[in-house]
Amino acid sequence: MTSDTRKNVIIIGAGAAGQFCAIECARRGRSVLVLDHGPRTGAKIRISGGGRCNFTNRHVSPANYHSRNPHFCKSALARFTPRDILSLVEKHHIAYYEKDAGQIFCARSSRDIVAMLEQECARAGVEMRLSCPLSDVAREEGFFVTTKQGVFRSDALVIATGGPSYPALGASGFGLDVARQFGLTVVPPRPALVPFVFSARDQKVFHELAGISLDAAVSCDVKCFRGSILFTHRGLSGPAALQASLYWTPGEPLVIDLLPGTDVLEVLAAKRRSRMELRNLLAGHLPKRFAEAWCDQMVTSKPLDQTSDRELKETALRLHAWKVLPKGTEGYATAEVTAGGVDTDELSSKTMEVKRVPGLYFIGEVVDVTGELGGYNLHWAWASGFAAGQFA
């Protein structure tokens, strides 16, 4: 087998993880080639954070990541912290600001982060080939990558392709196919940080509430997320719902506290002798249209002075634990990330190298490490790319 070009390292994927790894490899004096089928670098970075790029979180910790092995991410996160990426951003004079819960965004545009990575790659001597579709990866005294621009050979191969989420940006399961080709175990991928779709019954009831949002606490499995939920034409979105989707198992209900931090029974009891109807009382605490639709489905709305103590307690319980059984999610088309991926048991947590295939590395979203909403996934891209970049 012959090749057109030989490098020390080939990295497949010109996203956050791939470019960051390339920078670190090249700084060590390695010759590096980055290949990507798309026409531009950082496709997902460009749309991150509504175009402002939530590029890290002040409070990054292993507890913010979902994986079959919750300990795997600890090594990489310990070696590349939020302060490390902030230092690089500051070096490039990129203004940023902090939002709720430690989320850090670009003050101007996500394009600033894209430009920073491209400049660092160029400065380090990384060769970048875009619009370069791949057709085959093989291993024979190194690695061979066959593309429309030729066949390239390397000593080390890094897979930084991401997952199938956002196929409109060209995302695919290519990296997972490579993992399977080399006999690696893959945790079944699924869309995550994604809106829920109502059952037919709930959609009929609530679809007219599209656009309404409210503060709630959404529980799923052992996790509970406080934040906004947004009614859509198809189901539920908003930060708290998206967070819950990372931990949701199909067939399980979401348990939603519609008035977190409020003692609903106390509120109801205070109006115990009033002729006010429940729906009107709730309209003072929840969006009116939602309060009316919810009451129509969940309780009998009648004057509070005609409501028994038992009915008041049941109403309070339902408001604090409204159970919604989703039909499913909107899928990869709108998912912010792909959960699952290359099983971490296959990789070294220190180097991200495949234990059974020396020279082969997997980083970023393609690995079974998925962050919660709030900059955690981009930080995992930096941290895992940095880790592999020290060794590839």
Structure tokens at 171: 């995302």
Structure tokens at 232: 């859509």
6-to-127, 135, 136, 153 alpha-carbon distances in Å: 12, 18, 16, 5
Structure tokens at 237: 């979105």
Q: Give me the amino acid identity at 25.
A: C
Q: Give me the amino acid identity at 150.
A: G
Name, in order, each residue with C-beta under 8 angstroms of 188's C-beta and a sequence gap of 6 or more: 340
Q: For the segment 330-352, what is each residue's pLDDT rounded down to a tens digit?
A: 999 999 999 999 999 999 999 99
Give dist(CA 187, CA 366) in Å, integer.
Answer: 10
Residue 134, φ and ψ in degrees, nearest 5: -100, 145
Per-residue confidence (pLDDT) for residue 4, from 0 to 100: 53
Can you name the residues that pair with 257 across neighbouring β-strands? 217
From first to last of its 392 residues, what are the pLDDT tens digits of the chain?
344 579 999 999 999 999 999 999 999 999 999 999 999 999 999 999 999 999 999 999 999 999 999 999 999 999 999 999 999 999 999 999 999 899 999 999 999 999 999 999 999 999 999 999 999 999 999 999 999 999 999 999 999 999 999 898 889 999 999 999 999 999 999 999 999 999 999 999 999 999 999 999 999 988 999 999 999 999 999 999 999 999 999 999 999 999 999 999 999 999 989 999 999 999 999 999 999 999 999 998 789 999 999 999 999 999 999 999 999 999 999 999 999 999 999 999 999 999 999 999 999 999 999 999 999 999 999 999 999 999 99
Architecture of domain 196-329: Beta Barrel (2.40)
Per-residue confidence (pLDDT) for residue 332, from 0 to 100: 97
DSSP secondary structure code for residue 345 in this structure = G
* Sequence-ordered alpha helix ranges (H) in the chain: 16-27, 43-47, 74-79, 82-91, 111-124, 174-181, 200-206, 239-245, 264-270, 278-282, 288-298, 309-320, 376-389
Architecture of domain 5-190+339-389: 3-Layer(bba) Sandwich (3.50)
Per-residue confidence (pLDDT) for residue 248, from 0 to 100: 97
Quote the Cα angle for 222-197-200, to 5°.
120
Can you name the residues that pair with 367 across neighbouring β-strands? 342
41-to-45, 78, 145, 327, 331 alpha-carbon distances in Å: 9, 27, 19, 36, 24
- The residue with tokens 């912010």 is 336
Are the beta carbons of 330 and 323 closer than 8 angstroms?
Answer: no
Provide the 3-class DSSP secondary structure of residue 321.
coil
Q: In which residue ranges of the chain is CATH 3.50.50.60 found?
A: 5-190+339-389
Per-residue confidence (pLDDT) for residue 110, from 0 to 100: 98
DSSP secondary structure code for residue 99 in this structure = -
Q: In which residue ranges of the chain is CATH 2.40.30.10 found?
A: 196-329
pTM of the full structure: 0.96
Per-residue confidence (pLDDT) for residue 2, from 0 to 100: 41
Give dist(CA 69, CA 345) in Å, integer.
Answer: 8
